[in-house]
Amino acid sequence: MEIVAPSTEQLLADFESKINAEIKIEPRDWMPEEYRQNLIRQMSQHAHSEVIGMQPEGNWITRAPSLRSKKILLAKIQDEGGHGLYLYSAAETLGVSREQFIQALHEGKAKYASVFNYPALNWADMGAIGWLVDGAAITNQVSLQRTSYGPYSRAMVKICKEESFHQRQGYEIMWRMMEGTKDQQQMAQDALNRWWWPALMMFGPHDSDSPHSTLAMKWKIKRESNDQLREKFINKTIPQAELIGLKVPDQNLQLLEDETYKHGDINWDEFWAVVKGNGPCNQQRLEHHIRAHKEGAWVRETAIASAKKHNI
């Protein structure tokens, strides 16, 4: 019997029928190169975001105002690093190593979530980041639990549980501050003012301007569009703000007849400026990561040398 290798057309047809039947694509399955590249881009960006996101929160660990809040913040940051590890491993199933991912980050070829290029200026920022940034991330990630690539989907299921915990903790900080002194209330409102728009921008450009979206939706890497997810987030979050007496900084916000909200114009010039590297902390965040990596080189080298000696 003669075995004939299937044609690319046949492989693609099989691949797409799996996608249509909601069967997950696994690392050893055939996949179009564009699908692989799309996933490498998205998953590594996601992993880098978890890791770079440790920095703005890390900025307040040593100034956390109580033992409990310090413990919670340490544990939260540790969770985020854990998500990073988990996502790097999931992304490595696509044939790229962690060292390569980090190199791409350092060379500016790989991105991370732009929201982490904003500064964390007061303690309420620890609340706003958990509540809004983790909140926006979950909205996106809940949807990604159904993504078509198996390792990514499973990573999302695991990560989502912790993210929703982070969101509640963040909201609790905001709530406590709004219950507190005038100074605390001002800090909370100030933090919301600064994080609201960057959080909305986390969902990316409007669907009409989103370059990677079409194919990603077709192959079910993405399951819901940027605008759909953004609306979900807004409708969930505004009532939470109002409940504790915070005011969302959007003068053109409208409450529609169906009880949903329509937000005012997003400043896309700012969005693209930050994406291109010109945000308040882009340089600081990336240089910090590069410096720590460089300073750690001798430690990684001695660990390898010692493992070789002892045959571990």
Partner 1 sequence: MEAQKKYYLQLADNALILSHRLSEYSSHGPFLEEDLANTNVALDLIGIAESILEQTAKIDGKGLTGDDLAYRRGEHEFYNCLLVEQPNTDFAFIMVRQFLTDAFHFYFYSELTKSKDKFLSAIAFKSLKEITYHLRRSSEWLIRLGDGTQLANDKTQHAVNTLWKYSNEFFTENEVDIEMKKSGVGVDLKEVKSLWSQKVNEIFFMAHLKIPENDFQLTGGKQGNHTEYMGYILTEMQFLPSKYPDAKW
Which residues contact partner 1 by CB under 8 A?
A: 51, 54-55, 58, 61-63, 65-71, 74-75, 77-78, 81-82, 84-85, 88, 123, 176-177, 179-181, 183-184, 288-289, 292, 295-307, 309
Q: Which residues contact residue 221 at a Cβ distance below 8 angstroms, ignoring those fewer than 6 apart?
A: 35, 38, 39, 42, 147, 148, 149, 152
DSSP string, 222-278: S-S-HHHHHHHHHHHHHHHHHHTT---S-TT-EE-TTS-EE-----HHHHHHHHTT-
Q: Based on the shown chain and the rule CB under 5 A, indicate whether residue 83 belongs to the binding site for Fe ion.
A: yes
* Interface with Fe ion, residue 230, by CB under 5 A: no
> Are residues 45 and 152 in contact, defined by beta-carbon separation less than 8 angstroms?
no
Out of 18, 41, 46, 166, the only residue in the binding site for Fe ion (CB under 5 A) is 166
From partner 1, Fe ion, none, interface partner of 16 (C-beta below 5 to 8 A by class): none
Q: 1 or 297: whose CB is closer to partner 1?
A: 297
| Minimum gap (Å) between residue 160 Cβ and Fe ion | 9
| Residue choice 80, 125, 231, 250 for contact with Fe ion (CB under 5 A) | 80
The residue range among 3-11, 161-169, 196-204, 251-259 that interacts with Fe ion, by the rule CB under 5 A, is: 161-169
Least separation, in Å, of the C-beta of 71 and partner 1?
6
Exposure on the CB side of residue 306, measured as CA atoms within 13 A: 6
Burial 272-291 (b: 16+ CB within 10 A, else e): eebbeeebebbeebbeebee
Q: How many residues bind Fe ion (CB under 5 A)?
A: 6
For the CB of residue 177, give the shortest distance to partner 1 in the complex, in Å: 8
Nearer to partner 1, 256 or 299 (CB): 299
Q: How far is the CB of 205 from partner 1 (least distance, A)?
A: 29
| Segment interacting with Fe ion, rule: CB under 5 A, options 77-85, 182-190, 236-244, 258-266 | 77-85
CA distances from 48 to 88, 114, 235 (A): 8, 11, 28
Give the residue with the Cβ less far from partner 1, 100 or 184.
184
Residue 163 as a binder of Fe ion (CB under 5 A): the answer is yes
Separation of alpha carbons 109 and 21, rounded Å? 34
**Binding partner of 84, given partner 1, Fe ion, none, CB within 5-8 angstroms per partner class:** partner 1
SS3 158: helix
Residue from 77, 191, 206 nearest 127 by CA = 191
Please state, in angstroms and rounded to a whole number, the distance separating the CA atoms of residues 254 and 259: 10
Please say which residue, 57 or 231, places its beta carbon nearer to Fe ion: 57
Residue 214 or 302: the one with the smaller Cβ distance to partner 1 is 302
Binds 19, which of Fe ion, partner 1, none (CB < 5 to 8 A, cut-off by type)? none
Q: Which is nearer to partner 1, 181 or 251 (CB)?
A: 181
Question: What is the number of residues in the chain?
Answer: 312
**Is the separation of the CB atoms in 303 and 291 below 8 Å?**
no
Binding site for Fe ion (CB under 5 A): 50, 80, 83, 134, 163, 166
